[in-house]
Structure formats: structure tokens, C-alpha cells
């Protein structure tokens, strides 16, 4: 079982310095204990302060770790364009001696697109085009193109990456068209944590059907493991609280059929039990059994788990990482 940790680096108390400090400490612990990867997500202008520049904490982690993969998870490609994303990736790859992973996604929050002067309409076509250019730039190929987001005239990104032909590209999506795009233009499909596992299973069939050999599915879930029932109950409540203030209020939650839940029409209390089912929470054996079952449903070989939520102590989080490390050999 390949396991990794996912981070958003947000806080409900405003103590972000501590959040980053402890998150980096956990990445070092994960590296020492043999976990496979860490990833950092991106969002902008949230009250809880999600990390806006994932490559920065990953660069810090590169200097503190030795073997663990370092992934953006995800970098919002359409906000920044393939040149910036490629340049960040190749620098991170050099800083980490070849451990960078380029996790990218399209994005869905209108305020982010408006702030970065990126059109909200026509996203799918631009994502297709920019993924192709990102692939070329990461390979060190000279690229010429003229588009609404910029002009490249015989441009070559430097420095070259350590990994050859390029660092892996993980493409995130939760819709059929995006999953097909991930199969055609990426090295892996990165799932999201809020889509029901039944729906992910259907999309996994789409992914494998669209691949021409190879491919990889990476399961993203939010969860927690501990030998303490009290800690598990606290962790579950912490995750529910975070989902209410983020995904629910953003209108980004899906029901069990995969349809969006409108927060203007549905109270969070009405969907608490449904949301709870999306988490993987349990004592180590139960946690591992659920995780293995979900990974088998998708044909996934790696699970990236977010365990760091406001309301769960740093000591409890580190203990969960140790429990996860014990499951790696299963």
C-alpha cells in the first residue's frame, strides 16, 4: 500500500505560522517513516487561508527531506499558465534532486478566475491546450504558440528538470471529460476527496478505457486513524466543521448521485451523515481495510490522505502519521 499526506495549510485561528511549521515537521516525519509522497493544494482569498502558492512549502520541504515525492495537489493551471507552472516545477525538481510531481487542475471558484484575469468560460478547451504546452515545456522543448493567455516564441524553460524526460504530471478532475483528458494528457488521474466512491468507480472505468496503456489513479481522501475512540470522534467533528465552512459554503459538495448540493437550499445538518461517509476514519486495521477496498474499486495504487484539520492537535496528527506508516507494508 502506497500512502501519502495532503496539506491545505489553513487555520481557523489565524496562527498560520504554526500551521506551516508543524506541517513541514510532519513532512519530515513522513519522509523518515517511509511514506510515498506529500502534496499541497491551492486556493485563494479564503478566510481560513488555504495555501496560495504550493511550490513554496514544497521547496522548503525539499531542503528538509531526502526521498519523499513532493507534489502540487493541485496547482490551478488556468490561473497561472503553463510557463509559470513549468518553471516552478523544474526549480522544485532541482531543489529536491528529482522528486517533484506536477499536480494540476482546472479550478472552479469564479472569484479566483476573476482575480487572475482568467476567463471562466471556455475552461475545458484552454485546459487541453495548456496541458499539451506544459508537457513540452517540462521536457525542455522549444515552444512557439500564440494564445489569449500569452505568446511563446521559441521559448525553452530553464533550468532543465532532473527527472527525464520530465517530472510526472498528475491531472485532477471529477467530471467525465476531465478524466478522459487526464488519461490522454497526464501520467495519472488525481481524484478529489468529496466525490462519492461509487461515482469515482464509474469514472475510473472511463479513465482506464481512455488510456492507451500505462496510467495511474491516485485516490484523494480526507481521513484519520488512531487507536483512541475519543480522538477519532474529535477528528471526525473537526473534518465536518471544515467541510461546512469550505466545500459546503462554496457549493462544491456532491450528493450520493454525484449532483451538486446547493447550500441555499440544503442545510448542512441535513447532509452531515452523507458527508461523514466520505471520510476514512477508524482504528488502523479498519482504516486500512476501508482504504484498500476503495483503492481496489478504482484500481488505484496510491492514496493521498489529508489528516491535518483545525481542532486536531499536532500530537494526535503525528501519531496518525505513525499509524499510517505501519500500514505501508500491508
pLDDT at 254: 83
Q: State the number of CA atoms in the 13 A half-sphere of 270 facing the CB.
A: 10
The model's pTM is 0.94
Which pLDDT belongs to residue 256? 86
pLDDT in single tens digits along all 330 residues of the chain: 899 999 999 888 889 999 999 999 999 999 999 999 999 999 999 888 889 999 999 999 999 999 999 999 999 999 999 999 999 999 999 999 999 999 999 998 999 999 999 999 999 999 999 999 999 999 999 998 887 777 888 989 999 999 999 999 999 999 999 999 999 999 999 999 999 999 999 999 999 999 988 999 999 999 999 999 999 999 999 999 998 988 898 888 888 887 889 999 999 999 999 999 999 999 999 999 999 999 999 999 999 999 999 999 999 999 999 999 999 866
Cα 289 off chain centre by: 22
Location of C-alpha cell 511550490: 55
Asked if 170 and 103 touch (Cβ cutoff 8 Å), the reply is yes
Radius of gyration of the chain (CA): 19
Instruction: Show the cell assigned to 189.
Output: 488521474
SS (H, E, C) 75-102: EEHHHHHHHHHHHHHHHHHHHCCCCEEE
Structural domains for the chain: 2-231+280-327 (3.20.20.30)
Q: Answer yes or no: are the C-beta atoms of 70 and 99 closer than 8 Å.
A: yes
Take residue 13 and report the three cell numbers written for it. Answer: 485561528
Amino acid at each position: 500500500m502506497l500512502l501519502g499526506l495532503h496539506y491545505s495549510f489553513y487555520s481557523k485561528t489565524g496562527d498560520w505560522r504554526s500551521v506551516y511549521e508543524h506541517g513541514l515537521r510532519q513532512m519530515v516525519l513522513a519522509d523518515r517513516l517511509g511514506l510515498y509522497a506529500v502534496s499541497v493544494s491551492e486556493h485563494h482569498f479564503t478566510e481560513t487561508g488555504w495555501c496560495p502558492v504550493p511550490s513554496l512549502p514544497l521547496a522548503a520541504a525539499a531542503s528538509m527531506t531526502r526521498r519523499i515525492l513532493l507534489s502540487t495537489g493541485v496547482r490551478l493551471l488556468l490561473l497561472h499558465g503553463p510557463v509559470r507552472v513549468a518553471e516552478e516545477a523544474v526549480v522544485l525538481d532541482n531543489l529536491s534532486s528529482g522528486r517533484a510531481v506536477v499536480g494540476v487542475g482546472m479550478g472552479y471558484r469564479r472569484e479566483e478566475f476573476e482575480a487572475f484575469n482568467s476567463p471562466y468560460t471556455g475552461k475545458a478547451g484552454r485546459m487541453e491546450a495548456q496541458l499539451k504546452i506544459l508537457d513540452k515545456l517540462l521536457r525542455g522543448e522549444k515552444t512557439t504558440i500564440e494564445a489569449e493567455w500569452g505568446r511563446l516564441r521559441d521559448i525553452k524553460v530553464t533550468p532543465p528538470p532532473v527527472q527525464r524526460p520530465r517530472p510526472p504530471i498528475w491531472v485532477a478532475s471529477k467530471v467525465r471529460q476531465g478524466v478522459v483528458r487526464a488519461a490522454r494528457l497526464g501520467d495519472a488521474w488525481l481524484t478529489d476527496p468529496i466525490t462519492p466512491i461509487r461515482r469515482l468507480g464509474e469514472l475510473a472505468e472511463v479513465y482506464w478505457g481512455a488510456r492507451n496503456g500505462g496510467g495511474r489513479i491516485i485516490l484523494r481522501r480526507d481521513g484519520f486513524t488512531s487507536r483512541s475512540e475519543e480522538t477519532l470522534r474529535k477528528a471526525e467533528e473537526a473534518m465536518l466543521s471544515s467541510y461546512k465552512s469550505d466545500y459546503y459554503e462554496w457549493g462544491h459538495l456532491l450528493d450520493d448521485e454525484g449532483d451538486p448540493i446547493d447550500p441555499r437550499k440544503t442545510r448542512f445538518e441535513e447532509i452531515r451523515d452523507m458527508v461523514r461517509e466520505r471520510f476514512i476514519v477508524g482504528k488502523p486495521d479498519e482504516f486500512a481495510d476501508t482504504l484498500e477496498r476503495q483503492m481496489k474499486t478504482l484500481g488505484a495504487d496510491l492514496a493521498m490522505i489529508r489528516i491535518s484539520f483545525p481542532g486536531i492537535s499536532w500530537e494526535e496528527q503525528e501519531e496518525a502519521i505513525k499509524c499510517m506508516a505501519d500500514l505501508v507494508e500491508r
